[in-house]
Amino acid sequence: MHAESPVPVPGDARRRERRRRLIVALLVGMAFMMEQLDGTILAAAMPQIAQSFAIPPIEVNLAIIAYVIAIGVFMPLSGWLADRLGSRQVFCWALGIFTLGSAACGLANSFSMLLAMRVLQGIGGALMTPVGRLILLRCFPRHELVRAMSYMNIPTMVGPTLGPVVGGLIATYVSWRWIFFVNIPIGVLAIALALWQMPASRGVRGAPFDYTGFMLFGAGLALLQAAIELVGHPLGSSAITMTSFGTAAILLCSYVRHFRRANQPIINLDLLSIRSFRTGVLSGGLSRIGINGIPYLLPLLLQIGLGRSAVESGVLTAFASVGMVMVRPYAAYLLRRYGFSGLLTMNAVLGAVSIAAFAGLETDSPDSLLLLLILAFSMMRGLHFTTINTLNYADMPAEQLSAATSFGGVAQQVAMGIGISVSAALLAHNARDSTHLVASDFPPVFLGLALIVLASAYGFARLHHHVGARVIGGSTPDKTIDG
């Protein structure tokens, strides 16, 4: 007699599926961690990079901006490539490009080469993060989105925690070049895990790629970012700056006109008709501009303005992740209690207050005060970004998820780049000598960023209570994200 095959136990299957979802969420988080680690480590070593290439410390922000511009320009490719080639395949290729770009950045022998390799690294990041988020959204039921974001954020908390400390240690005792080399083993491991655990998806032959829209939108974004950067740059005359702004506006308006005629535009502006997505992109983007300037400013303030060493700056900045870890488990509860409108409005006000508080720091400020302010800011930042990321996709139809992740990712990166550029421009405008910053140069910059965050509260306050009800738990959720 043949032995009977064991009967599958539904509970075992559910446990395996939950375990697979957890691994996928952590894997996507690992990809995000590489970006977070890279950004926070780079910020910790800006003075050392400036000294290595004999440039003013403020100009090191170009290494960050080059990366952000590349992400904003090439991210619209992510949704189309994921649909055409399969999300797992694109995710693995993106990891490979990002890892290769990291290695090349570490080998750069000039600041120009570093900028070019940061662009290559940004191309990998442009495909990696939105496709990873798309995989995550398709793996989890809609009503588990908050939990999925929390799982994914575990590795992204490790990056900001380790980044400033490791960056300070590397810059002090080794070389800033190892800042980029640390991504290599993480990238190799992430590729191996993706091939092992991520569900394979077969690409489908869809509409042809929107090359015209890609060129108009990408060039418009890149020129807009460059124009903002020119505001605070000594080479940026008023004529060149205004011409750049005007040309960027023409290109972006031309894309809007092109969008109305295109069958499959690279960025689907119709998604803005969905109230939750529109608020997440516009009001969320405004708040991101102010909030994302702080990770760039804080290491400069601590090391150059307040005289702390790179290691001390790294340790102090690392506490920003402590607040994020503390507050993230309460995101779902706070959402149920206050809703998206109440929670985001409250976050915007508290965020503005916490940013403005940095303006009161002086050279003799005790470390305990620094830690308290950093902790308060990080708690707000972690809760705010988790809530905005959830709001963006709370009411998004399943068939629009691919386009929404590209659009949302581009908006997020553009806001980040503008935040860094605005911070650098305000700092350069306020500083008497951009090559020798002092503590008194920073307070007006923090106050300006605080006002930007406060302005976003208006848009959040106008959200209706029913927006995102399925995510919060106000109605029966869909069984799966993709139908």
245's CB contacts (< 8 A; 6+ apart) are 224, 227
CATH code linked to domain 19-199+266-472: 1.20.1250.20
**Higher confidence at residue 102 or residue 233?**
102
pLDDT of residue 251: 94
Distances (CA, A) of 435 to 53, 60, 234, 452: 13, 12, 12, 27
Task: Please list the alpha-helical segments (H only) found in 140-237.
Answer: 145-173, 178-181, 183-197, 211-231
Average confidence (pLDDT) over 148-160: 60
Structure confidence by residue, pLDDT tens digits, 19-55: 777 777 777 777 777 776 675 667 777 788 888 888 8
461's CB contacts (< 8 A; 6+ apart) are 341, 345
Asked which of 208-217, 276-285, 323-332 is least confident by mean pLDDT, the reply is 323-332
Q: How far from the centroid of its chain's Cα atoms is residue 44's Cα?
A: 18
**What span, in angstroms and rounded, lies between the C-alpha atoms of 454 and 458?**
8
pLDDT of residue 366: 85
pLDDT of residue 144: 65
pLDDT of residue 1 exceeding 60, the answer is no
**What span, in angstroms and rounded, lies between the C-alpha atoms of 403 and 264?**
10
pLDDT of residue 10 exceeding 80, the answer is no
Helix 10-44 × helix 145-173 angle, to 10°: 30
Structure confidence by residue, pLDDT tens digits, 195-223: 877 777 665 666 678 889 999 988 998 88
pLDDT of residue 96: 92
pLDDT of residue 100: 93
Backbone angles phi, psi at 237, to 5 degrees: -65, 160
pLDDT of residue 477: 33
- Rg over alpha carbons for the chain, rounded to the nearest Å, is 22
Ordered by start, the domain boundaries in the chain are: 19-199+266-472
Q: Do residues 153 and 26 make contact, with C-beta atoms less than 8 angstroms apart?
A: no
Residue 330 tokens read as 């309460």
